[in-house]
Amino acid sequence: MMAMFLSVALLLALPATSLGTTEGLSAEESSQFYNSQEKGGTVTITETSDSYVFSSNGLPDHDMQQVNPNTATAQSHRYTFKKEVDFACTPGSLPKGTIALTKTGVAIYNPLTSANLNAVEGSDAEVFDRCNGHSDASGVYHYHQAPGSDNCGDTYTAVEDQFVGVALDGFPIYGPHASDKVDGPLTSDDLDICHGRMVDGKYRYHLTYDFPYVLGCFWGANARDNSQQVSYACDLQVGTDLQQYGYLCSNVNQQGVGAQVCSSYPGTVSVTTDGGNTQAPTQAPTEAPTQAPTEAPTQATTEAPKTRRPRPRHIKTNSAREAYLRRWIKELLEQTK
């Protein structure tokens, strides 16, 4: 009993601010926003005390080809990204239009056509130029997938651990080639529901070569600051048009709902690296259940054990385990009153 109360005291002493919040863009990542301006593109990022302010004209640093009736024109992209990002308890939906920006200042759209079909592959795929981009009716040049890596500017060159851009919720986006993945590029199977994972205690999204290519949803709680189309009343059963794709989050029925901040990373994929060498598998291992030691009975019959909540063997990260244990111990104490 004394050990249990000591554990309670230690857990309650943990700083509350350590749970549920993680770094968004780092200073190193923010320094990589750059456009050579050789093709007319511009991008700037300005630091404030708690945010990064992004501004660009949306034009890439590579040649564009007109592959549909629309012509790319200069835009006025301006977004603010918090340096510290809270996790949402339920994922945020991907809006139509911009869901992320590349480090060269170009918009990234969700992977769907206007009819909610796969825009990149299959019989309904749209037409893209040699760098995997095209323009919409408003003249916004954008990608629905990884930009081309062959003479297509500096955004993506298919090297390991490459920073590519930032999502509207403020979490960074990296390429599919990771130093801890030795058997080829990352796929959606290596990532969580929103197409990201925790790496060394920081959350990031990843490009992949399979659907949904960039993002599946938002885990950051403040994406609505940059797009009012985002909803955190997100139904993962997205309807008959999209069920074939699995987990793309839709807000067709409920729009404009804000996020409930979660106490920890809600996903399941976490890795730890050391100089590029993996120290943990892409999917964190499941802990084996343990049982409390049984005292030798003093009588011929033993007392039936009290009802207890199962130990948290499905929790994959330290912060998530701490939050779970807080709730578990609180409920256990209430049962003993």
User: Exposed (0-12), middle (13-18) or buried (19+): which is 268, by Cβ within 10 Å?
Assistant: middle
pLDDT digits (tens, 9 = 90+) for 240-264: 344 444 345 655 555 567 788 988 8
pLDDT for 9: 36
User: Rounded to an integer, what is the distance from CA 330 to the centroid of its chain?
Assistant: 30
Domain boundaries, the chain: 1-287+309-337
d(CA 210, CA 145): 9
Place of tokens 């945020």: 92
pLDDT for 140: 98
3-state per-residue secondary structure call for the chain: CHHHHHHHHHHHCCCHHHCCEEECCCHHHHCCCCCCCCCCCCEEEEECCCEEEEEECCCCCCCCCCCCCCCCCCCCEEEEEECEEEEEEEEECCCCCEEEEECCCCEEECCECCCCCECCCCCCCCCCCCCCEEECCCCCEEECCCCCCCCCCCCCCCCCCCEEEEECCCCEEECCCCCCCCCCCCCHHHCCCCCEEEECCEEEEECCCCCCCCCCCEEECCHHHCCCCCCCCCECCCCCCCHHHCCCCECCCCCCCCCCECCCCCCCEEECEECCEECCCCECCCCCCCCCCCCCCCCCCCCCCCCCCCCCCCCCCHHHHHHHHHHHHHHHHHHHC
Mean pLDDT in order along the chain per 10 residues (337 residues)? 37 39 95 96 97 98 97 98 94 89 97 87 95 98 96 94 98 97 94 94 96 92 90 58 48 65 88 57 41 46 38 37 47 53
pLDDT digits (tens, 9 = 90+) for 76-97: 999 999 999 999 988 888 888 9
Place of tokens 């529901």: 193
Place of tokens 């500096």: 154
Structure tokens at 236: 């993962």
pLDDT for 331: 53
pLDDT for 283: 43
pLDDT digits (tens, 9 = 90+) for 211-247: 999 998 899 999 999 998 888 876 554 443 444 443 4
